[in-house]
Amino acid sequence: MLKFTAIMLDGMNYAAWLFLVAVGLTLIYGVMRILNIAHGAFYAIGAYVCASALGVFYAAGLPGALAFAVMGVVALVAGVIVGLAVERGVLRFLYGRDEVLMVLVTYALFLILEDAVKLIWGVESYFVYQPYAYFGFIEINGLPYQVYDLMIVALAIVLGIALWFWLERSRMGRMTTAVVADREISAAMGINVTRIFATTFAIGTVFAVIGGVVTAPKISVTPGIGAEVIILAFAVVVVGGLGSIPGAAIGALFAGYARAMSVHLAPAYELFAIYAVMAVVLAIRPHGLFARASGRKI
Amino acid sequence: MMKTDFRREPLYIAILAGLLILGFFLPSWLRFLLQTAMAGGLVAVGVSLQMRAGLVNFGQGLYYALGGYAVGMLAAQAGITDIFLLLIAAVVVSTVAGVILGLLLSRYREIFYAMLSLAVSMILYGLLVKAAWLGSTDGFNIPSLSYLGWTPSRAVRPDVYYITTAILTVLACLATARYLTSGAGMLCEAVAENEIRLEYLGANPRKVAFIVIVVAAALSGLGGGLLAMSTGHVDPLMTNWTTSGGFVFVALLAGRGSTIAPMIGFFLLELVRNYALDLAPNAWQMILGAVMLMVILLLPEGLWSLVERRRKA
């Protein structure tokens, strides 16, 4: 019974984390047709910025609860700055180029940003465990569980709903959906596609940075964390279907529970659980669960 | 898209062979660099072959590592030291992997192919990193190898390894040139151009894609085996996506023109990396990324297109 509870909670927690890192990737692909490998670097930047900011914050000796406000501000500011810099600085010159070529472009960006991170923060590890320990434990079904982890689940749900609300209910979001459906017609109808692209890219980046920021207190922040994340995020969006936001949520749940089950039942296969899910899904639906059928062009 | 003229291919390969003979007179460190670059260059050729069919393989390091580990494990664990047996094993293992993955991946194109090939190679990376009996991230060393019962002494071993690598590389390039002029090789560009028309003409694009995947796998496996032989060491980095990214970068630089261009490209990359890692170990990837961006922005058909353009003019 304890094991069952642990699987349920860990699966949910891991799924929430995966959703946070994968949803930005799928959003950017859905709107801009760019599979953004640099997403992993954005995640790493989030983690580093969070570690630095919290280091300064704790040195100042302010009340601990404010740390979460700092994390929020840092995620927004860093995400918007990095996202806009990359979009305005590089990507906008390459719109309309081949999708695969854009993978190479973002791969190049990933390499550049990875080294930029190393040059700014060095190669040593950073630790900021305080926010993780702040809330302490709560007992669920006899199992003590970190409240911070449950907060991440809540955050993922809130942000997921907010993103849905933005896309479905706001004016900007509806215009974005129109651009997804047909870029040229939307432009002809007077939608500023350039602005939609810049906004979407910034939002997607903010999600990646948030993923890094909330993870920073749980891990030692070291070079290389971005690469691991991008591979996992790929698996999630492939399962869900590239470009689909509900797909990212379902994909994250599949992958999260697959991993939680293997961690508790067959730890040796932890790594394969996610890829096994991916392989099974692709065998049944070659382009993911939520992928729209597309015609073949002659 | 650039038209390719493969009748010149034997000429290019003859030039390559000449360069390799010249390599014999190089200082030993540079010659060793050339030797490892040939091994990696074969993988880059594999990537550029697939690129002709519009398939960008972001995980070609998978076959590189399989070839390397096949040699390493057979030599270190099973005690087989004959170089020819080991290299055959390397090619066989990677070809079998290519057949299995080819069956799965040949239905995917473009972004999905890139992403799935990347994912598969990272699974192997994860496996190797976790395998403590294979030295995890450190990999393991390979004992000295023998030639049909003759074990070269320490003094002549570098020469023997260089000759082996050079001969096999030239042979592999010849085989690749033969493949490029074959039906399945010629159809690759048509797959990239328009699959449905290709189907109307009676060809099977999936089969064409499958064949190019297998050919590339075999080449890369040989490359991995040669690298394992040359350096006497294998580690999981061979299948890491940064390694694969380097191959994609070289193939992109080289364009789809020939088999020799990726070889030269990879040698230059290794040379630059050698110096850059000395001068600025933490900025090496940044330089690579910046050059990559420049090439994409300014030379969409690769460096080889400069040669082609001049010839046409």
Predicted confidence at residue B126, as pLDDT, reads 79
- Is pTM beyond 0.95? Reply is no
Q: What are phi and psi of A144, to 5 degrees?
A: -70, 135
| Domain presence at residue A290 | no
> Which residue is associated with the tokens 């390091």?
B61
Tokens of B279: 């001068």
What is the three-class DSSP state of A127? coil
Instruction: Give me the mean pLDDT over the A249-264 stretch.
Output: 87
pLDDT tops 70 at residue B2? no
Largest CA distance in chain B: 60
Which domain CATH number covers A211? 1.10.3470
Percent of chain A at pLDDT > 70 equals 97
pLDDT tops 80 at residue A286? no
Question: Which of A58, A6, A8 has the alpha carbon at shortest distance from A217?
Answer: A58
Chain B residues touching A99 at Cβ < 8 A = 110-111
Q: What are the boundaries of each domain within chain B?
A: 6-312
Identify the residue with better confidence: B309 or A243.
Answer: A243
Question: Which of B201, B230, B275 has the alpha carbon at shortest distance from B38?
Answer: B230
Q: How confident is the model at residue B143 (pLDDT cuts 50, 70, 90)?
A: confident
pLDDT tops 90 at residue A239? no
Q: What are phi and psi of A126, to 5 degrees?
A: -120, 140
Alpha-helical (H) ranges within chain B are 9-23, 28-52, 61-76, 83-105, 110-130, 157-181, 183-193, 195-200, 205-231, 241-254, 260-279, 284-298, 304-312
DSSP summary character for residue B232:
S
Q: pLDDT by residue (tens digit) across B227-263?
A: 988 888 888 888 888 888 888 888 877 766 577 788 8
Nearest CA in chain B to A118: B282
| Domain presence at residue A295 | no
Q: What are phi and psi of A163, to 5 degrees?
A: -65, -45
Q: How confident is the model at residue B1 (pLDDT cuts 50, 70, 90)?
A: very low
Where on the phi/psi map is residue B110: left (φ > 0), alpha (ψ -120 to 50), or beta?
A: left
- What is d(CA B67, CA B234) in angstroms, rounded to the nearest whole number? 10
Q: pLDDT by residue (tens digit) across B17-75?
A: 777 777 777 787 888 888 888 888 899 989 988 888 888 888 899 999 999 999 888 88
Domain of residue A132, residue span:
2-284
CB proximity under 8 Å: A 202-221 to B: none
Percent of chain B at pLDDT > 70 equals 91
Q: How far is CA B56 from CA A34, A98, A251, B91, B213, in A?
A: 15, 12, 25, 21, 11
B229-257 exposure pattern, b = at least 16 Cβ within 10 A, e = fewer: bbbbebbbebbbbbbbbbbbbbbbbbbbb
**ipTM > 0.90 for the complex:** no
Tokens of A273: 């659980």
Q: Are strands A137-140 and B140-141 parallel, antiparallel or unpaired?
A: unpaired
Q: Are strands A143-146 and A137-140 parallel, antiparallel or unpaired?
A: antiparallel
CA distance A221 to chain B (A): 17
Task: Give CB contacts under 8 A, 24+ apart, made by B125-132.
Answer: B125/B65, B125/B236, B125/B239, B125/B240, B125/B241, B126/A271, B127/A271, B128/B65, B128/B69, B128/B236, B128/B239, B129/B236, B130/A271
Q: How confident is the model at residue B218 (pLDDT cuts 50, 70, 90)?
A: very high
pLDDT tops 80 at residue B157? no
Domain count of the fold of chain A:
1
- Give chain B's contact residues with A (Cβ, < 8 Å): 54, 56, 58, 107-108, 110-112, 114-116, 118-119, 122-123, 126-127, 130, 194-197, 241-242, 245, 248-249, 252, 282-286, 288-290, 292-293, 296-297, 300
| Domain presence at residue A39 | yes
CB A138 within 8 A of CB A145: yes
| Domain presence at residue A293 | no
Alpha-helical (H) ranges within chain A are 2-32, 39-60, 66-89, 99-121, 130-134, 147-169, 171-181, 183-188, 193-215, 225-240, 245-265, 270-284
Nearest CA in chain A to B253: A104
- What is d(CA A239, CA A287) in angstroms, rounded to the nearest whole number? 8
Say which CATH architecture domain B6-312 belongs to. Answer: Orthogonal Bundle (1.10)
- What is d(CA B41, CA B35) in angstroms, rounded to the nearest whole number? 10
Q: pLDDT by residue (tens digit) across A91-117?
A: 888 887 777 788 888 888 998 998 888
pLDDT tops 50 at residue B3? no
Contacts across the A-B interface (CB distance below 8 Å): 102
